[in-house]
């Protein structure tokens, strides 16, 4: 073992210890919640500290932002009241006539807001197939495209786009690259190191990890006029995170590495078990070697392949919904990234205009016993679609022995 006595602690240690926090007055090792919305001035009317009003920032929020910025290896981080608040504030920095290039399949909430900007503010949107680099190149219009938005892996089909190649294409056209890395948190992927300008997360998901906080986060690789405009927009819109939510986010971050690593192990175990299942038309997971972008995923997802996967049922939309409804260990609910496993018939959630296949079920794999999750999906498929294939002998041994590293 190497001697690290004089070296800086690893990022894993830093996050677990919340920045090696120790309260100077009490010795407490847990960061306190500072709920004050306003901050006093001295007799000369200078501020006592660095804060004036909670909408502009507060100590608990600053602490959380500092941890996230270090985790992403960025220049500066801003926390928002929700993921959509963060995405909307960034889109708000676009001027009339500027354009966004974004994937055809992506998180539908952000895509819907982008489409809304076309009619509200004449901000153009050019969609591309994330699996086709030529499609991305066609969608970027030099001098007009201001933001290229990608989502590797893409929700809910888990197509993986090459971040570095997308960054090069965006920069060549004078645009910035924004990476929605919600489903590949910084334990797994570091988009800024691959050339992205801004990385976005719905911090509601993996960063918090306990399904009890709504938050969003943006981290910049470096400052820029757009980044400074974003900060003004955030304050003007009032899209700031509260201190209580920031405290819960700090608490969740402390177990981020453990949670994401276990979810990745479980997801790979499920993907391998159901990869050739006779009742399924396919398993969509970038950790499988037969995934079309597995090599790209292996290159840029260096801490595992994440906890998100989808299955394609050999059946129609109604049968697929019934499979989802039959699950007992999985919870049928929207969202992802929590410690509990969730299942969702995505097309039902997105609505009749959704382009997601009707036979797709999206899974957010948690940190439970993987054998329980496998058995649950097996019984749902058996009940709705017929007799399941035999469960392999020694399942627990195969789960414990999974090599999930890239």
Q: Which of 233, 253, 273 is at the close of a domain?
A: 253
Query: pLDDT tens-digit profile of 267-325?
Result: 999 999 999 999 999 999 999 999 999 999 999 999 999 999 999 999 999 999 999 99
**Whether 265 and 126 share a structural domain:** no
> Quick check: 1 pLDDT over 80?
no
Q: pLDDT tens-digit profile of 237-259?
A: 999 999 999 999 999 999 999 99
Residues 214 and 267 in one domain: no
State which residues form the domain around 117: 11-253
In a domain, residue 4? The reply is no
Residues 45 and 79 in one domain: yes
Based on the fold, state whether residues 73 and 152 are members of the same structural domain: yes
Tell me: pLDDT of 387 over 60: no
**Residue 406 in domain:** no
Band of pLDDT at residue 385, cut at 50, 70 and 90: confident
Name the band, by pLDDT with cuts 50, 70 and 90, for residue 397. Answer: very low
Assigned domain for 1 exists? no
* Mean pLDDT, all residues of the chain: 93
Report pTM.
0.92
Q: Judging by beta carbons within 10 Å of its beta carbon (0-12, 13-18, 19+), is residue 204 exposed, middle or buried?
A: buried
The more confidently predicted of residues 354 and 202 is: 202
Q: What is the 3-state secondary structure (H, E, C) of the chain?
A: CCCCCCCCCCHHHHHHCCCCCCCCCCCCCCCCCCCCCECCECCCCCECCCCCECCCCCHHHHHHHHHHHHHHCCCEEEEECCHHHHHHHHHHCCCCCCEEEEECCCCHHHHHHHHHHHHHHCCEEEEECCCCHHHHHHHCCCCCEEEEEECCCCCCCCCCCCHHHHHHHHHHCCCEEEEECCCCCCCCCCHHHHCCCEEEEECCCCCCCCCCCCCEEEEECCCCHHHHHHHHHHHHHCCECCHHHHHHHHHHHCCHHHHHHHHHHHHHHHHHHHCCCCCEEEEECCCCCCCCCHHHHHHHCECECCCEEEEEECCCHHHHHHHHHHCCCCEECCCCCCCCCEEEEHHHHHCCCCCCCCCEEEEECCCCCHHHHHHHHHHHHHHHHCCCCCCCCCHHHHHHCCCCCC
Q: 66 and 80 share a domain?
A: yes
Positions marked active-site: 55, 107, 180, 205
**Structure token pair of residue 41:** 């001035």
User: Of 253, 276, 291, which residue sits at a domain end?
Assistant: 253
Quick one: what percent of the chain has pLDDT higher than 90? Answer: 89
Question: With bands split at pLDDT 50, 70 and 90, how would you rate the model's confidence at 336?
Answer: very high
Number of structural domains in the chain: 2
Q: Half-sphere exposure of residue 166, counting CA atoms within 13 Å on the CB side?
A: 34
* CATH number for position 382: 3.90.1150.10
Q: How confident is the model at residue 7 (pLDDT cuts 50, 70, 90)?
A: confident
Q: Indicate the pLDDT class of residue 2, thresholds 50, 70 and 90.
A: low
Q: Does 3 reside within a domain?
A: no
267 and 326, same domain (yes or no):
yes
Question: How far is Cα 136 from Cα 179, in angstroms, rounded to an integer?
Answer: 14
In a domain, 359, yes or no: yes
Q: What is the pLDDT of residues 220-241, one digit of tens each?
A: 999 999 999 999 999 999 999 9
* 115 Cβ contact partners less than 8 Å away, ≥ 6 residues apart: 125
Per-residue pLDDT for 87 more than 80? yes
Count of Cβ atoms closer than 10 Å to residue 363 Cβ:
28
Does 30 share its domain with 173?
A: yes
230 and 261 fall within a common domain: no
Final residue belonging to a domain, choices 203, 235, 253: 253
| pLDDT score, position 404 | 30
Q: Is there a domain that residue 289 lies in?
A: yes
pLDDT at position 5 is 58
Answer yes or no: do 15 and 95 share one domain: yes
Residue 384 has a pLDDT of 83
The CATH number of residue 239's host domain is 3.40.640.10
Predicted confidence (pLDDT) at residue 122 exceeds the cutoff of 70: yes
Residue 233: inside a domain, yes or no?
yes
Q: How far apart are CA 292 and CA 300, in angstroms?
A: 15
- Predicted confidence at residue 403, as pLDDT, reads 36
Q: 50 and 194: one domain? A: yes
- Whether residue 341 is predicted with pLDDT greater than 60 in this model: the reply is yes
- For the segment 125-135, the average pLDDT, to the nearest whole number, is 97
21 and 81 together in one domain: yes
Q: pLDDT digit string (tens) for 10-62?
A: 999 999 999 999 988 999 998 999 999 999 999 999 999 999 999 999 999 99
Q: Is residue 240 part of a domain?
A: yes
Same domain, 208 and 295: no
């Amino acid at each position: 073992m190497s001697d690290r006595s004089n070296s800086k602690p690893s990022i894993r240690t830093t996050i677990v210890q919340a920045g090696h926090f120790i309260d100077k007055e009490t010795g407490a090792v847990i960061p306190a919640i500072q709920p004050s919305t306003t901050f006093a001035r001295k007799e000369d009317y200078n501020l006592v500290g660095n804060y004036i009003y909670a909408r502009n920032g507060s100590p608990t929020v600053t602490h959380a932002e500092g941890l996230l910025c270090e985790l992403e290896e960025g220049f500066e981080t801003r926390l928002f009241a929700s993921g959509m608040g963060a995405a909307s504030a960034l889109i708000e920095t676009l001027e009339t006539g500027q354009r966004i290039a974004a994937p055809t399949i992506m998180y539908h909430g952000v895509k819907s807001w982008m489409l809304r900007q076309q009619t509200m503010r004449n901000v153009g949107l050019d969609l591309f197939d994330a699996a086709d680099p030529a499609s991305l190149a066609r969608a970027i219009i030099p001098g007009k495209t201001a933001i290229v938005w990608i989502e590797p892996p893409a929700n809910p089909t888990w197509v993986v786009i090459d971040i570095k190649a997308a960054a090069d294409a965006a920069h060549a056209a004078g645009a910035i690259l924004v990476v929605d890395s919600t489903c590949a948190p910084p334990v797994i992927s570091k988009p800024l190191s691959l050339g992205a300008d801004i990385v976005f997360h719905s911090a509601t998901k993996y960063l918090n990890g306990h399904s009890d906080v709504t938050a969003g986060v943006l981290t910049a690789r470096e400052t820029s006029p757009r980044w400074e405009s974003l900060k003004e927009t955030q304050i003007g819109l009032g899209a700031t995170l509260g201190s209580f939510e920031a405290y819960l986010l700090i608490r969740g971050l402390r177990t981020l590495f453990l949670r994401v690593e276990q979810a990745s192990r479980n997801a790979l175990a499920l993907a391998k078990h159901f990869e050739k299942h006779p009742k399924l038309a396919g398993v969509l997971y970038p950790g499988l070697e037969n995934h079309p972008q597995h090599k790209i995923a292996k290159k840029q997802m260096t801490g595992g392949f994440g906890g998100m996967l989808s299955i394609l049922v050999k059946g129609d939309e109604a049968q697929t919904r019934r499979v989802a409804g039959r699950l007992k260990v999985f919870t049928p609910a929207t969202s992802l990234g929590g410690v509990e496993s969730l299942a969702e018939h995505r097309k039902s959630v997105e609505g009749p205009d959704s382009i997601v296949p009707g036979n797709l079920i999206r899974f957010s794999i948690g940190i439970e016993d993987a054998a329980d999750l496998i058995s649950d999906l097996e019984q749902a498929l058996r009940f709705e679609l017929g007799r399941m294939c035999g469960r392999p002998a020694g399942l627990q041994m195969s789960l414990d022995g999974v090599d999930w590293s890239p």
